């Protein structure tokens, strides 16, 4: 299953920025898009129909050459094993933090 989101850049020359997640790609739908990826020596121009697959963790800046440029952001979810491991880690962290604070509440701790 993939998640598809369509965005419109209504102000030319004003970039939007994000850190790419697992399985993301950008496809130009309308207008020319200017894509800058942190650490890449050259910028990328996307014309309608062009797609750029993003690497997880990349910092991306995207701007339009003209008003009302549109792009499609596609995301394929992370593999089940990675998602499951992150879920379990978050649950354990919540339980650990709850145990540390709920045990004594607002009472002062006495050491022996």
20 or 2: which carries more pLDDT confidence? 20
Query: Could you say which DSSP state residue 101 is in?
Result: H
The domains of the chain are located at: 3-75
Q: Which of 35-39, 67-71, 100-104 has the lowest mean pLDDT?
A: 100-104
57 or 29: which carries more pLDDT confidence? 29
Q: Distance from CA of residue 55 to its chain's centroid?
A: 11
Dist CA 30 CA 35 (whole Å): 14
pTM equals 0.65
Q: Which CATH number does 3-75 carry?
A: 2.60.120.10
């Amino acid at each position: 299953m993939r998640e598809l989101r369509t965005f419109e850049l209504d102000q030319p020359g004003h970039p939007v920025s994000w850190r790419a997640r697992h399985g993301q790609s950008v496809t130009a739908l309308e207008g020319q898009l200017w894509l800058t990826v942190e650490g890449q020596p050259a910028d990328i121009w996307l014309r309608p129909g062009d797609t750029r697959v993003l690497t997880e963790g990349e910092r991306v800046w995207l701007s339009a050459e003209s008003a009302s440029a549109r792009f499609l952001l596609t995301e394929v979810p992370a593999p089940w094993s990675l998602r499951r491991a992150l879920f379990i880690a978050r649950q354990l962290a919540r339980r650990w933090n709850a145990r540390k604070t709920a045990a004594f509440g607002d009472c002062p701790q006495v050491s022996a």
